[in-house]
Copies of this chain bind each other. A is one copy, B any other.
Amino acid sequence: MDNIKNYVQQNKERFLNELIELLKIPSVSADSAYSQDVINTAHAVKASLEKAGCDKVELCETPGYPIVYGEKITDANLPTVLVYGHYDVQPPDPLDLWTSPPFEPVIKNTELHPEGAIFARGACDDKGQMYMHVKALEYMVQHNNLPCNVKFMIEGEEEVGSPSLAWFVERNHEKLKNDVILISDTGMISNQQPSITTGLRGLSYVEVEVTGPNRDLHSGLYGGAVANPINILAKMIAQLHDENNHITIPGFYDRVQELSREERGEMAKAPFSLDAYRQALDIEDVYGEAGYTTNERNSIRPTLDVNGIWGGYTGEGAKTVIASKAYAKISMRLVPDQDWNEITEMFTKYFESLAPKGVRVKVKPHHGGQAYVTPIDSTGYRAAAAAYEESFGIRPIPVRSGGSIPIVALFEKELKSKTIMMGFGLDSDAIHSPNEHFGIFNYLKGIETIPLFYKHFTEMSK
Contacts and interface: CB of A to CB of B under 8 A. Distances in A.
Interface string A399-419: 001111000000000000000
Contacts of A230: 237, 305-309, 328
A143 interface: no
Interface in A212-228: 212-215, 217-228
Between A213, A294, A312, the greatest number of chain B beta carbons within 10 A of the residue's beta carbon is seen for A312
A359 B281 CA distance: 11
B205 A318 contact: yes
A282 B214 contact: yes
A201 B225 contact: no
A414 to B, nearest CB: 23
A79 B213 CA distance: 47
Contact of A311 (B203, B309, B313, B403): B309
Contacts of A307: 219, 230, 312-313, 318-323
A227 B232 CA distance: 21
Contact of A301 (B213, B224, B310, B427): B224
A45 to B, nearest CB: 27
Given A307-B219, A309-B312, A318-B366, A224 B329 contact: no
A404 B221 CA distance: 9
A295 to B, nearest CB: 8
**This protein's copies in its complex:** 2
Contacts of A298: 221-225
A6 to B, nearest CB: 37
Between A220, A288, A401, the greatest number of chain B beta carbons within 10 A of the residue's beta carbon is seen for A220
A362 interface: no
A195 to B, nearest CB: 14
Interface string A303-344: 101111111111001111111001111010100000000000
- What band does the interface of chain A fall in when counting residues whose beta carbon is under 8 Å from B? 35 or more
Given A312-B307, A322-B305, A403-B218, A284 B358 contact: yes
Given A298-B224, A312-B306, A287 B357 contact: yes
A367 interface: yes
17 contacts: A213-B281, A214-B283, A219-B303, A223-B331, A224-B302, A224-B303, A224-B333, A225-B286, A226-B281, A226-B286, A226-B287, A228-B305, A233-B309, A306-B312, A307-B321, A312-B329, A313-B329
A358 B238 contact: no
A224 B283 contact: no
Nearest to A310: B314
A297 interface: yes
A231 interface: yes
A448 interface: no
B403 A306 contact: no
A268 interface: no
Given A212-B281, A231-B241, A307-B318, 16 more contacts: A205-B318, A213-B281, A214-B281, A224-B289, A226-B281, A226-B286, A227-B286, A230-B309, A234-B237, A237-B238, A283-B359, A284-B357, A284-B360, A307-B323, A308-B319, A308-B323
A367 B306 CA distance: 30
A308 B323 CA distance: 8
B320 A223 contact: no
A114 interface: no
Given A308-B312, A309-B314, A283 B366 contact: no
Given A221-B401, A226-B286, A226-B287, A308 B314 contact: yes
A235 interface: yes
Between A201, A295, A305, the greatest number of chain B beta carbons within 10 A of the residue's beta carbon is seen for A305
Interface string A39-75: 0000000000000000000000000000000000000
Given A222-B402, A313-B308, A331 B320 contact: yes
Contacts of A232: 287
Contact of A427 (B221, B228, B303): B221
A108 to B, nearest CB: 21
